[in-house]
Each structure stands twice: as C-alpha cells, then as structure tokens.
Amino acid sequence: MTTATAQAAPNIAFIKYWGDRDASLRIPANGSISMNLDGLYTRTQVKFEPELESDRLQVNQQEIKGPGLARVISLLDWVRLRSGRNTPALVISENNFPMGAGIASSASAFAALALAASAAARLELTEHELSRLARMGSGSACRSIPGGFVEWLPGEDDLSSYAVSFAPPDHWDLVDCVAIISQEHKKTGSTEGHFLANTSPLQAARVADAPRRLEICRQAVLRRDFEALAWIIEQDCNLMHAVMLTSNPQLLYWQPGTLSVMHAMQLWRRQNLPVCYTIDAGPNVHVICERWAVNTIVSHLEAVPGVTRVLVAGPGGPARLEL
Ligand code: PMV
C-alpha cells in the first residue's frame, strides 16, 4: 500500500499545554488533559508517488506552501527515514470545521497525517508511537490519537512524551458547545505562543502547580463530578490566559464577544445551570456541560451578542484509518 486515508477528531484541553521544555521535540512544560470532539474531523489522504518532484499539500482544496508545507514535510521525512523510502508524497486534507480560530485544527490535522502517512508507508506503529509522531507536528495532536478522555504524559524526551486514554468516549456524555466569535486566522499561532510562555513571570508558578490540577481534573472525569471539573477547567484556562496576557509581547486572544459569553455564563450559573468555559489560543469560547443541558445552553449562547454560530460536540473516538 502506498496510499492511506485517516480521520482524526480535534480535542479540547481541560488542562492546557502552554510552553515547551524542548521546543524542537515539542516536549511540553506540563502535562495536559483533553476530550476528543465527536463529529468534527480532519480527513487526510497520503499517497507516496514516485512521479512527484517534491511533497505537495492541499488543504480544503487549496495548495499550501511555506511554513505549513514545511511542517508536513518534516513529519513525512520521519516516516520516510523509518520506512527506508524516499518517495515524495501528495497529501490531501479536508476539515469540516473552521481552521485557525481556536478549535485545534492542527491537532486533528497532524493526528490524521501521522496515521495516514505511517500506514501508506506500511509502518506498523503502536498507539504510543503514533502519538509521539503526531506530537512532532503539533503538540496537542498527540492527544487526538487515542480516544475519549486523554492525558498527555509530558515525559522528558521523545520516547516518554505521548498521550493515553484514561476513559472511553461513552464514559461520560459531556458536551462542548463551541461559541464561534470569529473564524479569522489568529495573528499569533500557538507555536510562537509556546516560545513566549517563559517571558511571563507567571509561567513558572503555573507549571509548578500543574500536577495538582491534573489530579483534580482526572478524578473529576473518572467520578463524573461536574462541579469539581468545572472549577478546575476554568481555573486552568484562566491561568493560561494570565500567562498569555503577561508575556512579552503580550498575547490577547479574547474579543468583546468572548467576554460577553464569560459574563453571561456567570448569570446562567446563578440560575443553577451547570456550565463552564475554556478558551484556547483564539477568541472562541468552549462551553462545557452535560448532555441534558445542551438545548438550553445553545439557545442561550445564540442570543449572546458577538456569537455567530454554535458547534456542538460530544466525546469523540480515536484517530482511525479508512479501509
Ligand atoms: O498543539 P499546539 O501547539 O497548537 O498548542 C495547543 C495550545 C492550546 O490549544 C492553547 C492548549 C491545548 O492544550 O490544546
């Protein structure tokens, strides 16, 4: 087989990855926990073709060159090295959700690429190896290889830094209602953001406290304790944005619509609606709740000024090959 197609879901981090211990290998400063998002996906086909002069990449029917292509080539180079081939590849990728606006399109993209490229090259990688390979493309992509609720064990080198599932998707019907504020590409991507993390005087404290937050989050998921989960998710998100806001240069991802959702949620909570928010490196707000509350929350969100659209996703499965 020289062609393979794979699908992977993006994931939303409950405990965030922000800052690297080793940027070239994407070894994170702290561990992280996430949930894969069902129904949203990147679908990627990799075809090794001897007739090609060099690697080519198409994303959503557009030819990509420059740094986007370079990141894909370095992952393909690893696959070629390991499989002893040096054939160029054509990579065709599609997303069914907006890219570059804080819905981790790079996570699903590099997870699908790692799986499709290794299968097309006939490499039989274990889940840990696939997770490590996806990590090379984008740190959070290592969490889109296993299914359900996933923890990235930070490790200290390439071998020890990968993600594992600690509860399957059907363990808890949590839902991420993604309030889309803007679909524009962000100005500072996360790769650059990770470099800036250490310029904040708050980053060392955030990293030192990570094992406590990871433990609370893991236990809250395992016990399906929404109240405990909500508290720790918001605290962790606010710590990351505090680091971003105090970096040099400063990173401000929030827009007025982002704050409108955050304020509205305080009101909903006073009305006994259990919800919490988390925000990645973009303006969109991920509103987490249990399934029974989804309809009320979506109609509330649609009424908040600045919210253009709401995407709804439950816990998703692992990256998978299309046979
Ligand atoms: O994988 P990257 O380099 O795109 O970084 C992801 C960073 C956040 O989305 C902000 C947090 C996370 O853990 O997903």
The CATH number covering residue 128 comes to 3.30.230.10
Q: What whole-number distance in Å separates Cα of residue 276 and Cα of residue 269?
A: 9
CA 129 / ligand 1 centre spacing (Å): 20
As a whole number, the mean pLDDT across the chain is 95
* Same structural domain, 297 and 248: yes
One domain, residues 207 and 291: yes
- Distance between first and last Cα of the chain: 11
CATH number at residue 201: 3.30.70.890
- Give the tens place of pLDDT for each residue, 157-182: 999 999 999 999 999 999 999 999 98
Across 86-222, where does the E strand assignment appear? 89-95, 149-153, 162-167, 174-180
Atom 8 of ligand 1: nearest residue by CA position: 280
Sheet harboring 309-313: ordered strands across? 276-278, 285-290, 174-180, 309-313
Residue 132 is inside which H or E element, if any? helix 127-137
Which residue among 168, 203, 227 closes a domain? 168
Cα-to-centroid distance, 16 and ligand 1 (Å) = 7
Is the CA virtual torsion 248, 230, 166, 320 positive or negative? negative
Tokens of 144: 């889109």
Q: What is the mean pLDDT of residues 246-256?
A: 96
Whether the predicted pLDDT of 100 surpasses 70:
no
318 lies in some domain: no
Compute φ and ψ for 35, nearest 5 degrees: -125, 130
Q: Assess if residue 101 is contained within a domain.
A: yes
Distance between CA atoms of residues 37 and 157, nearest Å: 28
Mean of the pLDDT values across residues 263-280? Answer: 95
Asked if 112 and 94 count as a contact pair (C-beta separation under 8 A), the reply is no
Please state the atom number of ligand 1 nearest to the C-alpha of residue 141.
1
Q: Is the same domain home to 24 and 109?
A: yes
- Angle of helix 67-83 relative to helix 105-120, nearest 10 degrees? 30
Query: Cα–Cα distance between 146 and 316 in angstroms, integer?
Result: 10
What angle is formed at CA 14 by the lines to CA 13 and CA 17, rounded to 5 degrees?
50
Using a 6 Å cutoff on CB, does residue 214 contact ligand 1? no
Residue that is last in its domain, among 135, 151, 168:
168
- Domain-located, residue 321: no
Please report the atom of ligand 1 found closest to the CA of residue 12: 14
Looking at the structure, tell me whether residues 24 and 155 fall in a common domain: yes
Mean pLDDT of 113-137: 97
- Asked if residue 246 and residue 118 are part of one domain, the reply reads no
Confirm or reject: Cβ of 35 under 6 Å from ligand 1.
Answer: no
Q: What's the rounded Cα separation, in Å, for the pair 236 and 238? A: 5
Mutation probe of ligand 1 site: the residue of 190, 191, 206 with most atoms within 8 A of C-beta: 190
For ligand 1, the distance from its centroid to the CA atom of residue 272, given in whole angstroms, is 31
The per-type count for the chain, helices as H runs and strands as E runs, is: 9, 16
Contacts with 113 (C-beta within 8 Å, 6 or more apart), sequence order: 6, 44, 46, 72, 75, 91, 93, 134, 137
323, part of any domain: no
Q: What is the pLDDT averaged over residues 186-197?
A: 88
- Rounded to whole angstroms, the Cα distance separating 296 from 292 reads 9
Protein residue with its CA nearest to atom 9 in ligand 1: 280
Residue 322 counted as domain residue = no
**Is residue 66 included in any domain, yes or no?**
yes
Condensed to tens digits (0 to 9), the pLDDT of residues 294-317 reads: 999 999 999 999 999 999 999 999
| Range in 7-11, 98-102, 150-154, 212-216 the model is least confident about | 98-102
pLDDT tens digit sequence for 179-190: 999 877 667 888
- 104 Cβ closer than 6 Å to some ligand 1 atom: yes
Claim to verify: residue 137 and residue 6 sit in the same structural domain: yes
Q: How far apart are CA 177 and CA 28, in angstroms?
A: 27
- 163 and 208 share one domain: no
Closest ligand 1 atom to the C-alpha of 11? 14
Pocket lining: 191 vs ligand 1, CB cutoff 6 Å: yes
For residue 12, give both structure tokens. 């939303």
Same domain, 7 and 153: yes
Same domain, 231 and 156: no
Residue nearest to atom 6 of ligand 1 (CA): 140
Q: Which of 11, 14, 15, 18 to mutate to test the pocket of ligand 1 (most atoms within 8 A of CB)?
A: 18
Q: Is 32 in the pocket of ligand 1 (CB under 6 A)?
A: yes
Pocket flag, ligand 1, residue 188 (CB < 6 Å): no
Domain-located, residue 180: yes
Average pLDDT estimate for 8-30 = 97
Residue 143 burial (C-beta neighbours within 10 Å; 0-12, 13-18, 19+): buried
Reported confidence tier of residue 102, pLDDT bands at 50, 70, 90: low
Confirm or reject: Cβ of 190 under 6 Å from ligand 1: yes
Identify which of 249, 255, 316, 258 has the alpha carbon closest to the alpha carbon of residue 287.
Answer: 258
- Which of 120, 143, 168 is the last residue in one of the domains? 168
Structural domain includes residue 282 = yes
Question: Quick one: 185 and 236 in the same domain?
Answer: yes
Q: Find the domain containing 219 and state its range.
A: 174-313
User: Do 187 and 72 fall into the same domain?
Assistant: no
Residue 101 has pLDDT above 70, yes or no: no
Please tell me whether residues 18 and 164 are part of one structural domain.
Answer: yes
Domain total for the chain? 2
